[in-house]
Amino acid sequence: MKVILITGAAGFIGANLAKTILGKEQDVRIIGIDSMTDYYDVSLKQSRLEELQEFADFIFVRGNIADKTVVQEVFSEYRPQIVVNLAAQAGVRYSIDNPDAYIESNLIGFYNILEACRHSYDAAQADPGAAYRGVEHLVYASSSSVYGSNEKVPYSTEDRVDNPVSLYAATKKSNELMAHAYSKLYGIPSTGLRFFTVYGPAGRPDMAYFKFTDKLVRGEKIQIYNYGDMKRDFTYIDDIVAGVRKVMEQPPKENEQGVRYKVYNIGNHRPERLLHFVELLEQCLLEEGIITKAAEKEFLPMQPGDVYQTYADTQELWRDFGFRPDTALKDGLRRFAEWYKNYYGGEREKK
């Protein structure tokens, strides 16, 4: 049985990835680890986790990857063959006031995962007759934030990304550098995935589309930054999961430097204007009867850490896997609106 470790398993991407794999693949066991932090509504994480616990081949470990002992024990007991590191402290603006959380989870936590992958080979060598040969592939979440304020578009993985504009972006770029070093030194096949503005049902309440929806439901004014002159490459959650699964199945080959290391963009490769996005969201919410009128809008300057636009070049993803995200924004927002109505009913308005 193939054993897959997914960190951040109760998170938005982690839970959807685990649920899809368990629902579609045979002879696979998923070990999910999550610290269940209260960065956003824990009950949403709990509801995702409850769905996963309906699968017999899902094992949940509540723990923090920044705790080296927890990580070592998980690797020692379950011996994962594929590791997907999605645990991280997310959010650009939150990093301005809460830097400690990013250093702990995104740097120390990721270091612990790398060390555990490295020592998985030691365990395999100590028992040459065993079937376990160590971690075959480490896949980890990076972010489109690493591109910072790059003006060249679309963003290519060949572009220089040396000038992050937020601590969150700096930690994600650091993950890529750390993974490269471990791939070079210890032969760990690793693939980093730069996700572009992931959205969809049961998503993160700190994301703009979710915050806008909450305010629209309560009849509150919504804030539009940079006076509406912003673009985002919105990527639907099912496309993200499909991309991650394809990458998981194919560890990178050695590059010109003899390192089994690769980074890909996973984005919808179609940036949308923020105002158009808000209009589509309002339309979907109106059609579902969640709201009865469009919101009043307040136009504000750009916030610290924000970037003008994101735009993914996905040619490498297409070349290597024959895949690129293609869910239309309106279709994705409609599915989110349907979920929001079913999940919250009229309760969200009271909060």
Which residues are marked as active site? 168
Residue pair 83/121 in contact by the 8 Å Cβ criterion: no
DSSP state of 208: H
For 218-235, give the DSSP string: HT--EEEEGGG--EE--E
10 Å Cβ neighbour count for 289? 9
| Look-up of token digits 């109760």 | 10
| Look-up of token digits 């991280």 | 88
Tokens standing for residue 58:
């899902």
**Nearest CA among 89, 90, 75 for reference residue 138:** 75
DSSP state of 312: B
E-only strand ranges, the chain: 2-7, 28-34, 58-62, 82-85, 137-143, 190-195, 198-199, 222-225, 231-232, 235-236, 261-266, 272-273, 297-300
Calculate the CA dihedral of residues 53, 58, 61, 65 and round it to 10 degrees.
Answer: -120
**Cα Rg, the chain, nearest whole Å:** 20
Q: How far apart are CA 298 and CA 85, in angstroms?
A: 38
* One-letter amino acid of 322: G
Q: Helices 329-344 & 208-218, crossing angle to 10 degrees?
A: 50
| Look-up of token digits 């300057």 | 301
10 Å Cβ neighbour count for 160? 9
Tokens standing for residue 104:
């702990």
Q: Helices 12-24 & 237-248, crossing angle to 10 degrees?
A: 60
DSSP element (H, E) containing 299: strand 297-300
**Nearest CA among 178, 214, 151, 203 for reference residue 335:** 203
Residue pair 157/263 in contact by the 8 Å Cβ criterion: yes
